[in-house]
Structure 1
Amino acid sequence: MSKNILTFVASTGIQKTKLSRECPFCSIDHLSDVIDIHGEMILLKNKYPTLEKASQLVLIESKKHDGDISNYEINEWEHILKYAICSWEGLLNSGEFKSVLLYKNFGPESGGSQTHPHMQIIGLKNTNGYKNIRGDDFGGSILYQEAGVIANISTYPIMGFFETNIIWNTQQAMPVAARIIQETVKFVLNKYYKGLCNSYNLFFYKIDNQYICKVVPRFVASPYFVGYRIGQKFDDDYVRHIKNEFLKFISNLQEA
């Protein structure tokens, strides 16, 4: 069975490490290859594409250098999420790519190179990004549900330990999904693991007409996963503890 391998363009990657520390996304007048501007959001081609046979786009979310899902007003985050998914689906429906990925890095352990808030949309011409994804990657203990949106904790996480899946089916459910994603991110950065987590990823999937956002707190990757592709999960007692903490946390947020 062939492996899913992306070819990294090392010369471009090395070039990125030599860039000025000045934030390129704050200098809007110097941006190039802009595809679309929607309010404060800017969709553009990645100036330093590091993958062969791929189209790499960057979605700058906001003018705020220190902006993040955790500190956006909810209406602002709803607009960003809606625009990101619309842009992603545009590439999905173009027929140009075998698969299209949408994800977000935040924090020093997330794998990102820029701190300014942004997402990435990657069109892969010859690679199926979902090849190693299975249905049970998104199943698990129900954490919260409201108005057609379900949040659960993965029973079989891709990497581990605490992977939250927010699942919805319709555009009408997106405002609720956006709020639950925001509440989950706030929980990850403020309460999860005694507040010691400062990084996360969001990964988006569209499977059988369902939208899925997987929220993954990030730490240094486990050697079990790096060396053997073995994910880990918490024991059932700790999962119940997290669920109780989460429900108490979002209840306090909603009452504030």
Structure 2
Amino acid sequence: MNNDPLVFKLATAKNKPSSFRKDKSHSCPFCDVASLDNIYQKEGDLMWLHNRFPTLKDTLQTVLIESADHNGDISNYTKAHNRKLMKFALQCFNEVISTNKYQSVLWYKNFGPLSRGSLVHPHMQIVGLEHEDGYKYIHKNNFTGISVFENERVEVNMALHPVQGYQEININLNDSQNDVAIDNWADWIQIATQYTLQEMYHSRCTSYNLFFYPYESNGKKRICAKLIPRFYAPPYFVGYKLSQRNDKISLEEEGKKLFNFNLMQSK
């Protein structure tokens, strides 16, 4: 397997604003809606546009603004807004895939200072890679694990084969063509982010990444939304690409806590 890294354009990155670095402008370009251009689609305060600072060579880089609220997040949106967001983002993701211009298309979200994001204002990114398979290190067992919840539409588990570790939550959408299933999926993604920030690690987690992986199973198009709590990356992953996970008993206990958290939020 070839290890062909994405090429980062440092000269472009030098001009990017940042919410976290003291030496960068803290002005938020996403709050200044009148100055935004190269907009592909807009639906209320949801907006999909070209990334003004494309820092990766041989890619299409786009940004999806989630809300007009600078401090918004999946964890604090209304259920209706979060459902609308996920349907809008899924539509944009599929639109890039349907062009057939890219070897692979990536969809992800950064939240918090340890997620490697640069801006606080809530947004996702959809990136088309011209020459790279962005999923070459991903396996279907990365989407499996200890069951938390399952019905015909959605399956939620604590990963036994995490991409990085230690307690990744997989929210699998079993039918990406079904609106009701997408709503259920969006609800569980919201519950997972709330749980990660409010309960997991005794509320010490302030950052997460959310990655979306399309795959097919039994003739249906499915998507795994993988929520990864972020701390500093462990050396085994940095140096060897070896993921780690907590022991099975700990993951089972965490899964029960997540299930009970969902019940409490539903009351």
Give the TM-score category using the shorter length.
over 0.9
Tell me by how many angstroms 1:217 deviates: 0.6
Distance 1:4 1:254 in 2: 45
Distance 2:126 2:80 in 1: 22
Distance 2:153 2:26 in 1: 44
After the TM superposition, list the runs of 4 or more consecutive aligned residues in structure 1 that deviate by more than 4 angstroms. none
TM-score by length of 1: 0.97
Q: Which residue of 1 aligns with 2:99?
A: 94
Say which is worse superposed, 23-32 or 162-171, in terms of deviation.
Answer: 162-171
8 Å contact from structure 2 (residues 109, 211) kept in 1: yes
8 Å contact from structure 1 (residues 147, 176) kept in 2: no
Deviations 1:228-255 (A, max 9, x none): 1111111122112212211221111111
Distance 1:64 1:106 in 2: 14
8 Å contact from structure 1 (residues 146, 176) kept in 2: no
Tell me by how many angstroms 1:100 deviates: 0.4
Aligned-partner SS, 2:114? coil
Unaligned regions of 5+ residues in structure 2, if any?
18-22
Q: Which residue of 1 aligns with 2:155?
A: 150
Q: Which residue of 1 aligns with 2:191?
A: 183
Tell me by how many angstroms 1:169 deviates: 2.6
Q: Which residue of 2 aligns with 1:248?
A: 260
Q: Which residue of 2 aligns with 1:15?
A: 15
Distance 1:71 1:4 in 2: 38
Q: Which residue of 2 aligns with 1:72?
A: 77
Aligned-partner SS, 1:239? helix
Tell me by how many angstroms 1:19 deviates: 5.0
Distance 1:89 1:156 in 2: 27
Distance 2:74 2:152 in 1: 21
Corresponding pairs, count: 255
TM-score by length of 2: 0.93
For 1:24, give the aligned amino acid: P
8 Å contact from structure 2 (residues 146, 252) kept in 1: no
Distance 2:15 2:45 in 1: 28
Aligned-partner SS, 2:16? helix
Q: Which residue of 1 aligns with 2:230?
A: 218
For 1:210, give the aligned amino acid: R
Aligned-partner SS, 2:226? strand
Tell me by how many angstroms 1:147 deviates: 4.3
Q: Which residue of 2 aligns with 1:5?
A: 5
Following superposition of structure 1 onto structure 2, how do residues 1-256 of structure 1 map, counting pairs within 5 Å?
A: 1-16=1-16, 20-170=25-175, 171-172=178-179, 173-208=181-216, 209-255=221-267
Distance 1:250 1:132 in 2: 31
Report sequence identity in percent. Answer: 37
8 Å contact from structure 2 (residues 152, 174) kept in 1: no
Unaligned regions of 5+ residues in structure 1, if any?
none
Root mean square deviation, CA, Å:
1.1
